[in-house]
Structure 1
Amino acid sequence: MTTLGSASAAPGETDTGRLEVGEARDGSPVALPVAVINGARDGKTLYVQAASDGDELNGVGVIQRVVPQLDPADVVGEILVVGIVNYHAFQVAEHRNPIDDTKMNRAYPGDENGTSSERIAAATYGVASRADLIVDLHQGSTSRMIDEVRVRCGRHHRLHNECLRLAKTFGCGYILDQKGPDGQLARAGPDDGIPTVDPELGGAVGWDEESIRKGVDGIYNVLYGYGFLDGTCETSSQTRAKGFDQYGSPAGGLVRFKKDLGDSVSVGDVLFEVTDVFGGLKARVTADGPGLFWRSRRLPQVASGEYVCSVGTDIDTV
């Protein structure tokens, strides 16, 4: 029998339930939606979570589609799912937990006696640490961004190769291989010996069906590639970036992009222009180095110094 919060499934069964992580301001329980798919045959354990940032919804869309498709009679091992991690932020469609103004993916492995975010991180990490593999579904918030998978442990980490293999197996086509900030689940997992990746499924207001489809395909690639389902996973070459160049606006006005997501960038290429409201040119920003146009703001209006776009750098194929 496998349990996760109130969900409990015998071999060959699926169950859903709730994982209590604290109390709301009115004293009512705060409980996250969870699922257990307990395979008919013994094997590895996969942990999947979504919406640790409350406005990153594409991962929720992935879980909404994958869980009902999985027949536990066909599964080898266990799949543990937390469908929405950042409960408070999700309720108000915000990025950060409004209870403590914290970005949840900076709170891992958490503290069961700490802040709201630290308590939720501790509860979900207690589940994740039972797994052999961790997939933490994200997106570029409401920015426009290519679909990618992030390897955040750092290229000198003892588990780097295992995390890179997991990223390639997920198979979005693009990988960011750059050490992440302290407190990320994709940092905490490898430190405890668990290969972990952070798929960033594009960026959207609401959710984006194409990015969700890529996420569904990615989860199935992992299920096939690591033996949770019978079948084969064809791992193709991935484009990897090892860093970012970020560009802000030198002037206030309206942005007009000259590159689109995934475009190759050479030194001196025009990335964007800034105009006044009458179309008069105020600034033109060019690339400092080569790379791929990776991420950009969604709304056109900017203040001087405000973030506009990012170029993935140090590109190779893995």
Structure 2
Amino acid sequence: MTTLGTASAEPGEIDTGRLEVGETRDGSPFGLPVAVINGAKPGKTLYLQAASDGDELNGVGVIKRVVPRLDPAELSGTILIVGIVNYHAFQVAEHRNPIDDTKMNRAYPGSENGTSSERIAATTFEAATRADLILDLHQGSTSRMIDEVRVRCGKRHRLYEDCLELAKAFDCGYVLDQKGPDGQLARAAPDEGIPTVDPELGGCIGWDETSVRKGVEGVFNVLTHYGFLEGTVDLNRQTRANGFEQYGAPNGGLVTMKRDLGEQVAHDEELFEVTTPFGESKATVTADSDGILWRTRRLPQVATGEYVCSVGTDVDSF
């Protein structure tokens, strides 16, 4: 019997339930939606979670499609799933937990006696660290971004190569290989000996069909590569950015991008132009380094200094 919250499954079974993590403002208990898929045969354990940022819904779309396709009779090992991590933010379609104004993916490993976000992080971290592998499904918030996987443990970490292999198995085609901020699950879990990556599945409002489909393929790639499902997966070469440069608007106005997402850009090549509402040019911004246009804002209007785009730099492949 494998249990997560109120979900319990014997070998060859699947069950869903709730993982209680606290109470709402009216004193009612609330729980995160969870699932246990317990394979008929023994094997590894995969932990999968989504929506630790409440407006990043592509991961929820992935889980919604993955679970109905899984047959425990054909599975070796166990999959533990938390379908929505940031409960309070998800309810109001916001990025941060509105109870404590915290970005959930800066709260790991959490504290069982801490703030709302720290308590949720501690509960989900306890579940995650029961696993052999962790996929923390994200997206580039509501901005526009390529589909990529982030390796956040840092190149000197003892599990660095294992995290790279997991990213390669997921196979988005692009990897951001850059040590992440403290408090990220993909930083904290490798310290516990568990390879972990952040698949960043595009960026949109709601969910994007192409990115959700890419995420579903990625999860099944991982399940096959690590022996949960029968078969083989080719480990394709990934385009890797080892750095990240962000660009803001030097003036207020309307932004016109000069390059598309995923396109290579060269040093001093034009990235975007800022104009007045009448099309009069106010500024052009060029790339500081060679790289790949990785992410852009969604709306054209900007104030001085407001974020416009990001370029992945120090690009290679592996």
Please give the range of the TM-score, normalised by the shorter of the 2 chains. over 0.9
| SS at 1:18 equivalent | strand
Aligned to 2:230: 230
In the TM superposition, what is the alpha-carbon distance from 1:235 to its structure 2 partner?
Answer: 1.1
Letter of the structure 2 residue corresponding to residue 51 of structure 1: A
Q: Structure 2: state its 5+ residue gaps.
A: none
Say whether 1:63 aligns with 2:66: no
Letter of the structure 2 residue corresponding to residue 157 of structure 1: H
- Quote the Cα distance in structure 2 between the aligned partners of 1:214 and 1:234: 16
Letter of the structure 1 residue corresponding to residue 132 of structure 2: D
Letter of the structure 2 residue corresponding to residue 54 of structure 1: G
| SS at 2:181 equivalent | coil
Q: What does the per-residue CA deviation read over 1:208-266, in whole Å, with 9 as the maximum and x for residues that have no partner?
A: 00000000000000000000000111110000000111110000000000001000010
Taking only aligned residues, the RMSD between alpha carbons, in angstroms, comes to 0.4
Aligned to 1:114: 114
Aligned to 1:245: 245
Spell out the pairing of 1:29-68 with structure 2 (5 A cutoff).
29-68=29-68
Q: Structure 1: state its 5+ residue gaps.
A: none
Aligned to 1:167: 167
Letter of the structure 2 residue corresponding to residue 271 of structure 1: L
In the TM superposition, what is the alpha-carbon distance from 1:30 to its structure 2 partner?
Answer: 1.4
The two structures have a TM-score, normalised by structure 1, of 1.00
Aligned to 1:311: 311
Q: What does the per-residue CA deviation read over 1:103-137, in whole Å, with 9 as the maximum and x for residues that have no partner?
A: 00000000000000000000000100000000000
Aligned to 1:84: 84
- Quote the Cα distance in structure 2 between the aligned partners of 1:277 and 1:265: 27
| SS at 1:43 equivalent | strand
Spell out the pairing of 1:134-213 with structure 2 (5 A cutoff).
134-213=134-213
| SS at 2:35 equivalent | strand
Aligned to 2:102: 102
Q: What does the per-residue CA deviation read over 1:112-164, in whole Å, with 9 as the maximum and x for residues that have no partner?
A: 00000000000000100000000000000000000000000001111000000
Letter of the structure 2 residue corresponding to residue 288 of structure 1: D
- Quote the Cα distance in structure 2 between the aligned partners of 1:177 and 1:189: 16
- Quote the Cα distance in structure 1 between the aligned partners of 2:200 and 2:307: 19
Aligned to 2:302: 302
Give the length in aligned residue pairs: 318
Letter of the structure 1 residue corresponding to residue 252 of structure 2: G
| SS at 1:203 equivalent | coil
Structure 1: which 4+ aligned runs deviate by more than 4 Å?
Answer: none
Q: What does the per-residue CA deviation read over 1:281-300, in whole Å, with 9 as the maximum and x for residues that have no partner?
A: 00000011100000000000
In the TM superposition, what is the alpha-carbon distance from 1:268 to its structure 2 partner?
Answer: 1.0
- Identity across matched positions, percent: 76
